[in-house]
Amino acid sequence: MNQEIKEKSNYCLNCKIKPCTNKGCPLNNDIPEFIKQIKEENYEEAYHILTSTTVLQAVCGRICPHKKQCQGVCIRGIKGEPVSIGDLEAFVGDYAIQNSLKIPKEEEKNLVNKKVAIVGGGPSGLTCAAFLAKKGIQVTIYERYDFLGGLLMYGIPDFRLSKDIVKNTIQKILDLGIEVKYHQKLGENLKLEDLTKQFDSVYLAFGANCSSKMGIEGEDLEGVYGGNELLELKKHPNYKDKTVLVNGGGNVAIDTARTIKRMGAKKVVIVYRRAKEQMPAEEKEVQDAEKEGIEILFQHNMVKIKGNKKVEGVEVMRTKLVQKEGERRLSPVNIEGSNYVIHADYVMMALGSKTDAFVKKLGLELTTKNYIKIDENYKTSNPKVFAGGDVVGEKGTVAWAARNGRDVANKIIAEFSSL
């Protein structure tokens, strides 16, 4: 064991109450126990402990918002620094890759003839596939691109997450015997009704990656882009010597800004309407963005994008935070008379995402926000079809998407077992 990992694992108190597991981790990984195994240099056992709840160790160890999740409730963090849980999880994931450790199977005879289709090969779909395949269920993933990983491949820049790490993590999942069919797009060459006839159950896990808009004047001008689409499709304009404004405060906004800065933009400014401590992006990513020369305007709100045919500038207003009746957190309110204009050549909207238009044509009941409507068992209005992750409006992090995938797998397994 290298000295740094040894020190980080020894720093853990192995608490019996496990707030990191029970409160902080969306996947409820048994954090004290896998760290205990690292201390004792039982790395394979640490990996097996983690595989009971997650199959994305090397990924989540790197990109999860640890300070807002597991490390944020760490007992050691009350009076000092929390345990470096993310680094330790990544170490175990990397060890498993380097030593070709396999995800253990737990096949059940009554499940081996069952077939499940999963639409979407992102974190949620991959996790669901893994937990089904572990039990011996025949799984086929239908993916619209020629690669798996979803936002792990196209939404998170290389400087945050190595694509080799993602590919190796995915290969471990596929080694469970999962079939993949690429270039399959739901609503085009892939029909939901056909899948429900061919398979015992279907899981929709294709995400929601269409950038939301503000509904302000000027959003249709040339030079306004969606951050989600830029990261996914990589069809960027020429940023050389340009000023770019990015609207939003989540990881997509930060990733968009840092990517654009690396592509030669003269100036990149993030506009965020709340205070710094309310920013949903991971604190480390925010700090890294600032170190790279990206300016962040906290408590500022875009109210108008100015220009004739092309973007020329953005009118912003300062905001104040007020407590509104019935709301727990402070809400931003524009300060009258605080308007001013910032020059911009491009504006990137990174305010969250919504579902693709084809979702309306699937014949499933939707919510008022056009997410697929599900019940407490993740079932849609079609009893053979489950849905989870971004497409149902769940929390937009990799860990929560993976949690949905695992939960759906368990629901499907329980349903098959009861037949």
Q: Give the model confidence (pLDDT) of 282-312 as tens digits.
A: 888 999 999 999 999 999 999 999 999 999 9
Q: What are phi and psi of 314, to 5 degrees?
A: -135, 130
Q: Which two tokens stand for residue 265?
A: 């933009």
Q: Give the model confidence (pLDDT) of 143-196 as tens digits.
A: 999 999 999 999 899 999 999 999 999 999 999 999 999 999 999 999 999 999
Is residue 34 exposed (0-12), middle (13-18) or buried (19+ Cβ within 10 Å)?
A: buried
What is residue 1's predicted lDDT score, i.e. its pLDDT? 62
Dist. CA 128–CA 411, nearest whole Å: 10
Q: What are phi and psi of 341, to 5 degrees?
A: -110, 135
Q: Spell 120-139 as b/e; 16+ CB within 10 A means b.
A: bbbbbbbbbbbbbbbbbbbb
125: CATH? 3.50.50.60
Report yes or no on 7 lying in a domain: yes
Domain boundary among the residues 98, 129, 154 is at 98
Q: Give the model confidence (pLDDT) of 335-388 as tens digits.
A: 999 999 999 999 999 998 888 888 999 999 999 989 999 999 999 999 999 999
Is residue 400 exposed (0-12), middle (13-18) or buried (19+ Cβ within 10 Å)?
A: buried
Report yes or no on 104 lying in a domain: no
- CA–centroid distance for 119 within its chain: 17
Contact 408, 374 (CB under 8 A): no
Report yes or no on 171 lying in a domain: yes
Instruction: Count other Cβ atoms within 10 Å, centred on residue 88.
Output: 23
Dist. CA 138–CA 149, nearest whole Å: 20
Report yes or no on 103 lying in a domain: no
Range of the domain at 30: 3-98
Report yes or no on 388 lying in a domain: yes
- CA–centroid distance for 243 within its chain: 28
Q: Which two tokens stand for residue 35?
A: 């760290």
Q: Span 23-47, mean pLDDT?
A: 97
Instruction: Count other Cβ atoms within 10 Å, centred on residue 384.
Output: 15
10: CATH? 1.10.1060.10
Q: Give the model confidence (pLDDT) of 53-71 as tens digits.
A: 999 999 999 999 999 999 9
Report yes or no on 359 lying in a domain: yes
Q: Span 392-396, mean pLDDT?
A: 83
What is residue 329's predicted lDDT score, i.e. its pLDDT? 82
Dist. CA 414–CA 250, nearest whole Å: 36
**Coil vs helix vs strand at 79:** coil
Report yes or no on 287 lying in a domain: yes
Return the closest-CA partner of residue 372 out of 208, 190, 184, 189.
208
Return the closest-CA partner of residue 86 out of 399, 404, 407.
399
The number of domains in the chain is: 3
